[in-house]
């Protein structure tokens, strides 16, 4: 197998998911229903602005109506909660997404907990977290749902296999582990207190890295033939690190020259790829799946709310 054949191509899977969603939206629109996503963007975090722009663009491409509610960094907790209440009450709104992080000092749990669970397309509301825990249908977090979809569509068997998830956040690690468990994997969750991470990770037939630490996972963390999924995203802005992570990789260096940075993951791709049977690249791996699953969740919410 060449390195190219090993790649778990997130762009390809995201395009397939989007095509399915677009077809569903077309059917719904034919029946007079236009799914609608409302995004709350508070403050002026540049990365958040880019993410929200990508979400709105994806909605437009798939026929989903989208509205972005921009609020100043000085927005009060009360104002945020009033807006969520209004969106909850608006019968035309199918999905509500509050872009994180909120401006400093705002209580994001209080805001997220206020979202109607039926419109909670991020799947962060405790009601939906509980449904996921129990394996009951609900709205589930987009990034781990995207990883499950990638594994499924690439024909990677999960049932009965040993899976290690590195990271235990509420957004990625924990829901990822729960979804894998429901898919009948034997799951180990690692975190910053895990002793001898490499030894635990080497047990994995499927290794999911979601630690938010650049190149944490090296060759000694990966068993020969493992499937490696890299959720981490890091902007690398220093040349020496780019040269260390991607030695002799003219393409990466070219990107660095033209853009002043390259993206890299939690996995040291150069070191790990030769050992892995399949591996996601960064960029072009898990990243594109998150927005695709957000679109899928919005349509799901629309169907469930409207009983179609």
Tokens matching residue 249: 């990789």
Question: Looking at beta carbons only, is 194 or 249 nearer to ligand NAP?
Answer: 194
Q: Which of 182, 213, 305, 306 binds ligand NAP (CB under 6 A)?
A: 213
Q: Element (H or E) spanning 152, and its range?
A: helix 142-153
d(CA 17, CA 145): 12
DSSP string, 76-109: -HHHHHHHHHHHHH-TT--EEEEPSSPSTT--HH
Buried b or exposed e, range 105-144, using 16+ CB within 10 angstroms? ebeeeebbbbbbbbbbbbbbbebbbebbeeeeebbbbbbb
- Residue 289, helix vs strand vs coil: helix
Q: Is 276 helix (H, G, I), strand (E, B) or coil?
A: coil
Is 99 labeled as catalytic in the residue annotation?
Answer: yes
Which string of x and - marks every residue 172-211 that binds ligand NAP (by CB under 6 A)? Answer: xx----------------xxxxx--x------------xx
Catalytic residue among 122, 230, 266, 268: 122
Least distance CB 76 / ligand NAP (angstroms): 26
Query: Judged by CB under 6 A, which stretch of 17-25, 235-243, 284-292, 298-306 contacts ligand NAP?
Result: 284-292
**271 exposure class (CB count in 10 Å sphere: 0-12, 13-18, 19+):** middle
Residue with CB nearest ligand NAP?
Answer: 169
Does 140 interact with ligand NAP (rule: CB under 6 A)?
no
Of the residues 232, 264, 273, 276, which one makes contact with ligand NAP according to CB under 6 A: 232
Which one of 287, 299, 300, 302 is in contact with ligand NAP (CB under 6 A)? 287
Q: Which positions are catalytic?
A: 55, 99, 122
| Site residues for ligand NAP per CB under 6 A | 143, 166-169, 171-173, 190-194, 197, 210-213, 216, 231-233, 286-287, 290
């Amino acid at each position: 197998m060449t390195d190219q054949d090993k790649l778990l191509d997130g762009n390809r899977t995201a395009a397939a998911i989007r095509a399915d969603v677009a077809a569903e939206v077309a059917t719904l629109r034919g029946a007079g229903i236009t799914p609608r996503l409302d995004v709350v963007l508070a403050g002026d975090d540049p990365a958040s602005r880019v993410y929200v722009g990508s979400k709105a663009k994806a909605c437009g491409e798939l026929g989903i109506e989208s509205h972005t509610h921009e609020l100043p960094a000085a927005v009060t907790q009360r104002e945020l909660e009033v807006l969520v209440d209004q969106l909850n009450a608006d019968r035309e709104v199918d999905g509500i997404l509050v872009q994180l992080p909120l401006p400093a000092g705002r209580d994001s749990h209080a805001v997220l907990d206020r979202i109607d669970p039926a419109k909670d397309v991020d799947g962060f509301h405790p009601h939906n977290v509980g449904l996921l825990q129990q394996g009951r249908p609900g709205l589930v977090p987009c990034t781990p749902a995207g990883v499950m979809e990638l594994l499924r569509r690439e024909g990677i068997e999960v049932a009965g296999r040993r899976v290690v998830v590195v990271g235990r956040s509420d957004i990625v690690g924990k829901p990822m582990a729960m979804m894998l468990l429901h898919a009948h994997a034997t799951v180990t969750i690692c975190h910053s207190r895990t002793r001898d991470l490499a030894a635990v990770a080497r047990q994995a037939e499927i290794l999911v890295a979601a630690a938010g630490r650049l190149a944490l996972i090296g060759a000694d963390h990966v068993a020969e033939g493992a499937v490696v999924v890299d959720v981490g995203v890091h902007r690398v802005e220093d040349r020496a690190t780019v040269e260390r992570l991607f030695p002799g990789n003219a393409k990466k260096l070219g990107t660095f020259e033209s853009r002043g940075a390259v993206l890299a993951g939690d996995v040291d791709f150069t070191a790990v790829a030769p050992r892995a049977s399949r591996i996601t690249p960064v960029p072009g791996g898990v990243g594109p799946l998150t927005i695709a699953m957000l679109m899928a969740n919005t349509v799901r919410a629309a169907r469930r709310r409207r009983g179609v």
